[in-house]
Structure 1
Amino acid sequence: MTFRNASATLFIPDSQAEAGALKRITHLGIGAHQDDLEFMAFHGILECYRSKTKWFGGVTCTDGAGSSRAGPYAHFSDEEMVAARRAEQDQAAQIGHYGVMIQLGHPSSVVKSPNDPSLRQDLQAILSTTRPEVVYTHNPADKHQAHIGVVIAALQAMRALPPADRPQRVIGCEVWRNLDWLDDADKVLMDVSGHDELAAALNGTFDSQIAGGKRYDLATLGRRSANATFFNSHATDAATQLIYGMDLTPLVTDETLSITDYVGAQIEKFQTDVKHHLARRLGEA
């Protein structure tokens, strides 16, 4: 494949031919940064892990130059950090037996720009070639601006495909804001229980961030554990590790839907629920 950025890389862990490796992808994760896939799309990684019929493909959109750094990485230049993070992401792809790992290497400024079409064009090319059944990406209520840029570009890319080529399911995932606030009926529940060792191996790959001052490895497993325990207050836990998702499929099947209005309706539902329970308790209902 040819990408907009000359520094983009395509890594195939099992050394299959590129065309076949891309065509076999059934589950595609589209994340902003190195490690986002392992944190948010672990359900897709598990669905395909050592499967003979399902393959996970990863796309990381940014170059990693703006990553936090401390400890042994404190004096790394941007170029050194880019190389370190790229190597870590490819290592995670090996551990997780991904079908393909694509790193687009865009600067964060490109991903955040509403006027630069480069990312959308790259994603459209990837999606039209792989034609995955399921896509995992960021949720549109995330608070990280690069994540918002990625999910918008991904949705626009999927909407630009012929309807028959679009994914059957699109899930917006948790990273820089959880989805506990979603109505339970609207949560996409992804049970990833019983695979803590694989999760730890994947999360621990990103030493530049862990040793550099961000314990994402602990925080990610902690969030999943908290989701499992706090999901239902009146029943014993049905899972030990649970990831929440937002169903973005309607935004792909119907390109006339407003992304802003769709997410706004979810937020308004949360607001209405909170106000309703307060009003009942205060006798204002």
Structure 2
Amino acid sequence: MEFKNKLAKYFKGVDKKDCENVLIIGAHPDDAEFMAYQIISLAYKNEKIGVHVVVLTDGANSPRSGSYSSYTGEMMIGARLEEQLNAMKVGEYSSLFMLNYTSSEIKNVDERAKDDLITIIKTLKPTSIYMHNPFDKHPTHLGALKTTMSALRSIDLSFVNKVFGCEVWQSLEWLNLEDKVSGDTSLYHEELFIPLVNCFVSQIKGGKNYDQALIGRWKANATFHDSHSVDLFSHISFMCDLTNVAKKEITLDEYVKNIINRFNNKIIEGIK
């Protein structure tokens, strides 16, 4: 596989024969684990599902403190690559693609990144894709969303069943019930989640309490998901279904406006 970005790297992981491929496309190292643990845990020890992870940026601009406060951008790139490789081993991924674009390139929807994604998607032919969602407040995540969606809308996706937008920066709990998809994140916490998230030591020890924040979000999602039913899971993450956008049945603008209009109408109706 050849990439437009000559800094891109491919790493082969666990070889699962005749499995269903799923693809996670994240902006930074650690985004895949934080936003798509639901599918990573489902595929763990499961020979029928192979997880493939794409990381779009090099992670050079991450916040840092403590022992990482003096790290240069190049040093952070190296540290975060090592962390992501450790996560691949812990999570037993089938492959990892580190495309190594800068955040500014992804925010500006670099055509090379789009082409690299097209190459990966056509090669893997995943049945489901997990990506960033259009309601995320992180500028690079929105750039990743636009880059990924541009790639998806450029090719025949007859092999894809579902495309999900996942929550990271800004929760999706506010979506109307009919507009959000629940993902079970309660599996293998001791065996998988804790070792997986602890791979990203530069982020957690560098000043961001992601491990506890994720558990708190998932627990809150599970309990406050539906006021008229008992909790079905102890932890869940929320997603939105972007399949019809990816398959060009509707534009991204139309999709977002429809979601917001339905939310607006429900709120207005409730206070009449």
Considering the TM-score relative to the shorter chain, is it more than 0.5? yes
* TM-score, length of structure 1 as denominator length: 0.91
Which one is further off, 228-237 or 100-109? 228-237
Any residues of structure 2 matched to 1:233-252 within 5 Å, and which? 233-252=227-246
Q: Aligned equivalents of 1:162 and 1:240: distance in 2?
A: 38
Q: Aligned equivalents of 1:258 and 1:267: distance in 2?
A: 14
- Displacement of 1:25 in angstroms is 5.9
Q: Is the 8 A contact 1:24 1:130 kept in 2?
A: no
Q: Aligned equivalents of 1:24 and 1:76: distance in 2?
A: 40
Question: Which residue does 1:99 correspond to in 2?
Answer: 94
Q: Aligned equivalents of 1:179 and 1:5: distance in 2?
A: 33
The count of aligned residue pairs is 271
Tell me which amino acid in the other structure corresponds to 1:41: A
Q: Aligned equivalents of 2:264 and 2:239: distance in 1?
A: 19
Question: Which residue does 2:58 correspond to in 1?
Answer: 63
Q: Aligned equivalents of 1:174 and 1:100: distance in 2?
A: 23
Q: Percent identity?
A: 37
- Which among 224, 231, 237 is matched to residue 225 of structure 2? 231
Q: Is the 8 A contact 2:26 2:54 kept in 1?
A: yes
Question: Which residue does 2:75 correspond to in 1?
Answer: 80
- Displacement of 1:52 in angstroms is 1.5
Q: 5+ unaligned residues in a row in structure 1: which ranges?
A: 280-285
Tell me which amino acid in the other structure corresponds to 1:176: W
Question: Which residue does 1:203 correspond to in 2?
Answer: 197
Which one is further off, 173-182 or 47-56? 47-56
- 1:111 aligned onto 2:106: yes
Q: Is the 8 A contact 1:24 1:99 kept in 2?
A: no
Q: Aligned equivalents of 2:85 and 2:20: distance in 1?
A: 17
Once the two structures are superposed, residues 15-57 of structure 1 have per-residue CA deviations (whole angstroms, 9 ceiling, x without a partner) of x5xxx99x95611100001110001111111221111221000
Q: Aligned equivalents of 1:162 and 1:244: distance in 2?
A: 27
- Which among 32, 39, 44 is matched to residue 39 of structure 2? 44
Q: Per the alignment, in what secondary structure is the counterpart of residue 106 of structure 2?
A: helix
Question: Which residue does 1:13 correspond to in 2?
Answer: 13
Point out 4+ residue stretches in structure 1 off by more than 6 angstroms.
Answer: none
User: Who wins on radius of gyration, i.e. which is larger?
Assistant: 1
Q: CA RMSD in A?
A: 1.6
Query: Closer, same or farther in 2 for the Cα pair 1:163/1:232, shift >3 Å?
Result: closer
Question: Which residue does 1:172 correspond to in 2?
Answer: 165
- Displacement of 1:89 in angstroms is 0.6
Which one is further off, 235-244 or 62-71? 235-244
- Displacement of 1:164 in angstroms is 2.5
Q: 5+ unaligned residues in a row in structure 2: which ranges?
A: none
Tell me which amino acid in the other structure corresponds to 1:126: I
Q: Per the alignment, in what secondary structure is the counterpart of residue 257 of structure 1?
A: coil
